[in-house]
């Protein structure tokens, strides 16, 4: 046990020392702190102006998190994929004279640390935004950090180390959890559609006695309601059942036999995860719903020469993939589009925007594209191919054909993220098409500015440094486009402002691609 504690301590210390030696760490730290402060101020203002900062609403938010987190953890752990052992840990920790349960707890500390961070955030946001008394926040913090960590540790040992139940049990458990989450989501949606759409309906849903008496998950909600809203018969019963279940799970996990049969599955998952990360860096699309990417036979008719060969070779590679060019990002766009539509439908304040509602979807999309790093493309793979530099064609054409498929994918993703919100907001077909076009333009801007950052700094500051440079350039481009939209909207009209935003963003995107392509020859010598 002492050896594991020492290993974990040294790992943390060495990671901190390594980070402090890199100048980009301080730049990234300033950026993150500034971003969190701005987000905190912005959300705080929205909550105050919308009179959203009530104990009932924080309970509703925490209830949603609980109903998503606990079943999600059970699904992940039952598949023995919730814990990620690094290759070094597989070689040294697994062979150490340590109990297999302690090995699980060694890796599970990362999850427990996540609970600690979430608990701190609940204290900060609960005090600042929802004006919850300090003693309630402290009580809930202790409950969340202690009891939730004990419960999660017990679930980890039960799912990974249990040798009593067969493989069929662990295959059926995720199915049961998915059905449970579907029933909860379906009943919640039914309640929303059959009442006056508002966030208060969500609070009413989780206040239902039948919800609070759902084993483990509902009991957790009952504890939350007891702490923040005071006692009643159902949350007292739910709290008692929750405490009994946590103690029972802990005793069962403590006495349960565990000889380390999970080692083989853990090693396989570690290897698969490493390969998946390598594939992502090369732009290989991973199929979300399949355990293994199985390639199929495919052919393609080459209809071009020189740089066009890059495009057709990518088409051939993607045709071998059952998901073709689509993956996680497409599903995320679909989910984001549905979320935008839901917020616009249930939020009465949206009507106050008037004609300016045409900017709602672009604003959300711009923010998401700007903040999140996105998925890897095949552009990085092209840099590893020597023949890319030997093709007798212009650098600009090489850049275009190496990224053409990304624009095709952006068209589909743009439709998915735009159409639901456009329908709810009642946008005209022309404005809907323009919004999709803006998404394509923003996606291209991010792609080419990533390339530009790669050209300018290479591996000097690592991936974090490239992300910061990309965000600086892209933030400047989005700011200029927003100013153009504002001027056009005030002087002529909102539709003209929207068009100017797309035009300016398109020009800046093309300029970024030009600069990146002109520096193409330098990529050949980059390390």
**Which DSSP state fits 285?**
P
Helix (H), strand (E) at residue 123:
helix 100-128
Express the helix, strand and coil content of the chain in percent, nearest 5 each: 80, 0, 20
Show the CA angle centred on residue 61, arms to residues 70 and 367, nearest 5°. Answer: 100
Q: What is the pLDDT of residue 289?
A: 43
Q: What is the pLDDT of residue 525?
A: 41
**246 CB neighbour count, 10 Å cutoff:** 19
CB-based burial, 164-189: b 16+ in 10 Å, e otherwise: eeeeeebeebbeebeebbeebeeebe
Q: What is the DSSP string of 303-331?
A: ---TTHHHHHHHHHHHHTSTTTT--HHHH
**Which DSSP state fits 359?**
G
Q: What is the pLDDT of residue 378?
A: 62
Which of 374, 375, 364, 373 has the alpha carbon at shortest distance from 336? 364
**479 CB neighbour count, 10 Å cutoff:** 10
Q: What is the pLDDT of residue 377?
A: 60
Q: What is the pLDDT of residue 520?
A: 56
CA–CA separation, 127 and 49 (whole Å): 17
Q: What is the pLDDT of residue 288?
A: 44
Give the C-alpha distances (Å, rounded to integers) separating 390 from 42, 161, 227, 521.
51, 54, 68, 10
The crossing angle, in degrees rounded to 10, of helices 360-371 and 328-346 is 140
Whole-structure pTM value: 0.65
Q: What is the pLDDT of residue 239?
A: 92
Measure the N-to-C terminal CA separation of the chain; round to a whole number of Å. 42
Sign of CA dihedral 315, 420, 204, 133: positive
What is the full per-residue pLDDT of the chain (527 aa) written as tens digits? Answer: 676 777 777 777 887 777 677 666 666 677 667 767 776 776 777 677 667 778 888 888 888 888 888 888 888 888 766 677 777 777 777 777 778 888 888 777 777 777 788 888 888 888 888 888 889 999 999 888 888 888 888 888 888 877 777 777 778 888 888 888 888 888 887 777 776 666 677 788 888 888 888 888 889 999 999 999 988 888 899 999 999 999 998 998 888 888 777 777 777 777 776 666 665 555 454 544 445 556 666 666 767 777 787 777 777 777 777 666 776 677 777 877 887 777 777 665 555 556 666 667 777 777 777 666 555 566 666 656 667 667 777 777 877 888 888 888 888 888 888 888 788 777 788 888 888 888 888 888 888 887 777 766 655 555 666 677 777 787 788 888 888 888 887 788 777 887 888 888 889 888 888 877 765 555 444 44
**Residues near 138 by beta carbon (within 8 Å), at least 6 away in sequence:** 123
Helix (H), strand (E) at residue 364:
helix 360-371
| Residue 495 contacts residue 482 (beta carbons within 8 Å) | no
Block residue for tokens 């999660």: 152
The C-alpha torsion from 506 through 512 and 516 to 518, rounded to 10°, is: 90
| Residue 478 contacts residue 505 (beta carbons within 8 Å) | yes
Q: What tokens were used for 415?
A: 């439709």
| Residue 484 contacts residue 501 (beta carbons within 8 Å) | yes
**Residues near 107 by beta carbon (within 8 Å), at least 6 away in sequence:** 83, 84, 85, 89
**Residues near 111 by beta carbon (within 8 Å), at least 6 away in sequence:** 73, 82, 83, 149, 152, 156
Show the CA angle centred on residue 391, arms to residues 388 and 395, nearest 5°. Answer: 75
């Amino acid at each position: 046990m002492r050896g594991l504690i020492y290993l974990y301590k040294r790992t943390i210390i060495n990671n901190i020392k390594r980070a402090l030696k890199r100048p980009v760490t301080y730049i990234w730290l300033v950026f993150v702190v500034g971003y969190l402060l701005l987000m905190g101020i912005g959300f705080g203002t929205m909550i105050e102006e919308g009179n959203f900062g009530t104990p009932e609403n924080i309970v509703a938010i925490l209830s949603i998190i609980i109903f998503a987190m606990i079943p999600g953890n059970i699904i992940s752990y039952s598949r023995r994929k919730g814990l990620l052992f690094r290759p070094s840990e597989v070689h040294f920790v697994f062979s150490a004279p340590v109990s297999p349960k302690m090995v699980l707890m060694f890796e599970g500390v990362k999850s427990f640390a996540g609970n600690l961070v979430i608990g701190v955030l609940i204290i900060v946001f609960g005090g600042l935004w929802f004006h919850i008394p300090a003693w309630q926040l402290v009580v809930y913090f202790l409950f969340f950090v202690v009891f939730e960590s004990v419960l999660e540790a017990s679930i980890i040992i039960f799912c990974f180390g249990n040798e009593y139940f067969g493989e069929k049990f662990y295959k059926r458990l995720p199915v049961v959890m998915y059905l449970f989450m579907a029933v909860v989501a379906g009943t919640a949606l039914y309640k929303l559609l059959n009442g006056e759409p508002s966030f208060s309906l969500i609070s009413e849903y989780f206040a239902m006695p039948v919800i609070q008496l759902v084993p483990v998950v509902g009991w957790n909600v009952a504890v939350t309601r007891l702490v923040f809203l005071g006692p009643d018969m159902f949350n007292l019963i739910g709290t008692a059942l929750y405490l009994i279940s946590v103690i029972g799970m802990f005793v069962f996990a403590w006495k349960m036999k565990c000889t380390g049969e999970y080692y083989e599955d853990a090693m396989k998952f570690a290897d698969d995860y490493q390969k998946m990360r390598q594939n992502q860096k090369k732009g290989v699309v991973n199929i979300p719903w399949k355990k293994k990417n199985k390639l199929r036979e495919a052919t393609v008719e080459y209809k071009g020469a020189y740089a066009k060969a890059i495009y057709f070779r990518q088409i051939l590679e993607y045709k071998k993939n059952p998901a073709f060019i689509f993956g996680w990002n497409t599903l995320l766009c679909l989910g984001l589009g549905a979320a935008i539509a839901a917020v616009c439908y249930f939020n009465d304040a949206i009507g106050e925007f008037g004609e300016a509602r045409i900017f709602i979807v672009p604003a959300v999309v711009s923010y998401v594209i700007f903040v999140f790093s996105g998925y890897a493309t095949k552009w990085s793979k092209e840099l590893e191919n020597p023949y890319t530099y030997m093709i007798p064609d212009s650098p600009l054409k090489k850049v275009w054909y190496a990224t053409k498929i990304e624009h095709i994918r952006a068209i589909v993703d743009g439709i998915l993220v735009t159409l639901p919100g456009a329908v709810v907001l009642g946008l005209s077909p022309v404005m809907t098409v323009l919004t999709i076009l803006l998404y394509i333009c923003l996606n291209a801007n991010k792609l080419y500015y990533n390339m530009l950052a790669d050209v300018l700094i290479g591996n000097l500051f690592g991936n974090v440094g490239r992300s910061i440079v990309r965000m600086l350039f892209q933030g400047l481009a989005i700011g200029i486009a927003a100013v153009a939209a504002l001027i056009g909207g005030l002087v002529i009209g909102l539709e003209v402002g929207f068009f100017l935003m797309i035009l300016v963003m398109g020009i800046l995107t093309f300029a970024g691609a030009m600069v990146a392509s002109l520096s193409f020859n330098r990529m050949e010598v980059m390390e």
